[in-house]
Structures are given as structure tokens and as C-alpha cells.
Amino acid sequence: CDRRFSRSDELTRHLRIHTGHKPFQCRICLRNFSRSDHLTTHIRTHTGEKPFACEFCGRKFARSDERKRHAKIH
């Protein structure tokens, strides 16, 4: 892979794509993730947390991209 990174943490995260290393584990279902933010989002499937509210109707979503897609209906 020819990708270059200016920060070592970005390189480390990228290398997980190639190695398949998934160091972040859900304590509830034991599923593993390569990125901590993916684990954080996943945990919301267990907790029901929905921190992203539609500014038009108030409907709540677990992920910001879900809210963004929903907002297009308004």
C-alpha cells in the first residue's frame, strides 16, 4: 500500500485494515472492532442511546449519518 501519513497514530489505524487487527472489544457481546469510534457507535445498539436529534422533528438517531439521511425528508 502506498498511502502516506503525517501522524503515526493515523498510520497505526490504517495498518489495521491490512492486518485485520481489532483491539477494541465490546464488553457486552464480545464483538471486536479495529477502531474505538466504531466500538462506541456499536455499544449504542446495546444501550439504546441516540444522541443525534433531528432539528426539524426531534427524532433521535444513534449515528450522525442516520440523522443526516433522515433530514433530507424535511
Q: What CATH number is attached to the domain comprising 21?
A: 3.30.160.60
The pLDDT tens digits of the residues spanning 47-73 come to 999 999 999 999 999 999 999 999 999
The pLDDT tens digits of the residues spanning 21-54 come to 999 999 999 999 999 999 999 999 999 999 999 9
Residue 43 lies in a domain: yes
Mean pLDDT, range 4-19, rounded to an integer: 93
Residue 15 lies in a domain: yes
Residue 56 lies in a domain: yes
Q: Residue 10 belongs to what domain range? A: 6-70
Q: In 3D, which of 9, 10, 13, 14 has the Cα closest to residue 1?
A: 14
Residue 1 lies in a domain: no
What domain count does the chain have? Answer: 1
For the CA atoms of 5, 9, 15, 17, what is the dihedral angle to 10 degrees? -100
Residue 28 lies in a domain: yes
Residue 31 lies in a domain: yes
pTM for the model stands at 0.76
Dmax over CA atoms of the chain, in Å, equals 45
